Amino acid sequence: MAVKGLFITFEGPEGAGKTTQLKMLRQYLSGLGLECVVTREPGGTPIAEQLRELVKHHSGVEPVFAETELLLFVASRAQHVRFLIEPAVARGAVVLCDRFADSTTAYQGYARQLDMDFIRSLNKYAIGNCTPDMTILLDLPPEDGFKRTATRTETAGRHDRIEAEAINFHHLVRQGFLEIARNEPQRVKVVSALAAAEDIHHQIVELIKNAFGPL
């Protein structure tokens, strides 16, 4: 492999196919004999997964305020980067992460409209030098994403707190992701999520080969 380790993140709205593509890429990379670490945000370590539960499925007795949500996501990221991602990349693994810092920028920044400069500082604080080598942004209209998740068997139509936001919120999320990609075209590659899963997988493999050479 041309580089020591790689950190690749998958971003995009609900139902875009992030988890599906991440699994297909893991299979492909493992088939090449590479160590592949698959993880997700929020979560990825025991402590970070506890923070995930707090922020996504709270009891309903007490609301989670937007500011609290932002800090919990970033706290989970700080833990995840140090305990799992950095050590794995350092030993030469390919780390595939289902959502990362761009989700915070898109959801809490563009959609919830919290202070963007503050979010940038927080993300930097949590991430340090652990910037993704490549981010795959799977793009699709939110309506199409929800059609997919409504029929998905694992969660059986169960929506978490953020998924349950109004459709306008999810349009802002999508626009936010696309703006991130416009601002950082070198890192963020936009792939239409409307194609067949196999086609998307091949596009992603090509993007990775073009960027990093033969693996």
Ligand X SMILES: Nc1ncnc2c1ncn2[C@@H]1O[C@H](COP(=O)(O)OP(=O)(O)OP(=O)(O)O)[C@@H](O)[C@H]1O
Asked whether position 203 contacts Mg ion by CB under 5 A, the answer is: no
Q: Is 106 in the site for ligand X (CB under 6 A)?
A: no
Pick from 146, 145, 159: nearest CA to 194: 145
Contact call for residues 52 and 162 (beta carbons, < 8 A): no
b/e sequence 39-72, b meaning 16+ C-beta within 10 Å = bbbbbbbeebbebbebbbebeeeeeeeeeebbeb
Which range binds ligand X by CB under 6 A, 74-82, 114-122, 181-189, 194-202? Answer: 194-202
**Least Å from the CB of residue 113 to ligand X:** 21
Span interacting with ligand X, options 15-23, 89-97, 105-113, 127-135, rule CB under 6 A: 15-23
Smallest gap, in angstroms, from Cβ of residue 121 to Mg ion? 28
- Count residues contacting Mg ion (CB under 5 A)? 2
DSSP code for 112: T
Cα 98 from Cα 40, distance rounded (Å): 4
Sheet holding 6-11, edge to edge: 36-40, 94-98, 6-11, 134-139, 188-192
In the stretch 139-178, what mask flags binding to ligand X with x, by CB under 6 A?
---------xx--x--------------------------
When asked if residue 20 is in the footprint of Mg ion (CB under 5 A), the reply is: no
Sites of contact with ligand X (CB under 6 A): 12, 14-20, 148-149, 152, 196-197, 200
